[in-house]
């Protein structure tokens, strides 16, 4: 079952139409879930920015592959709502 979750994504992606952004992210998460039986580790590449999905508290974080931080910094990431195969909050 799909539930809605907050996902932190690179601010660079805010230039994309939100429907397109959600669609690509959701498609990649579902594909990774069916391959690996988990969502962690999902790789999404948009606008030459590569991210790897991590869990941050109860949220999804599409962390840039070169980001050494341990939490999404507000100047580098934006929050969007995505549908995802995860238990509800």
pLDDT score of 38 more than 60: yes
Q: Which pLDDT belongs to residue 30?
A: 92
Split at pLDDT 50, 70, 90, the class of 2 is low
Tell me the two tokens of residue 89: 């909050």
For the whole model, what pTM was predicted?
Answer: 0.89
Judge whether residue 31 has pLDDT over 80. yes
DSSP codes of every residue in the chain: --EEEEEEEEGGGGGS-HHHHHHHHHHHHHHHHHHHSSSTT-EEEETTEEEEEEEETTEEEEEETT---SS--TTTEEEEEEEESS---
């Amino acid at each position: 079952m799909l539930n809605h979750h907050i996902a932190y994504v690179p601010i660079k992606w805010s230039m994309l139409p939100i429907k397109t952004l959600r669609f690509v992210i959701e498609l990649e998460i579902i594909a990774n879930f069916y391959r690996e039986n988990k969502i962690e580790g999902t790789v999404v590449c948009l606008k030459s920015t590569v991210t790897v999905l991590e869990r941050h508290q109860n949220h999804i974080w599409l962390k840039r592959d070169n980001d050494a931080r341990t939490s999404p910094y507000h100047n580098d990431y934006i929050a969007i709502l995505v549908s995802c195969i995860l238990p509800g909050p």
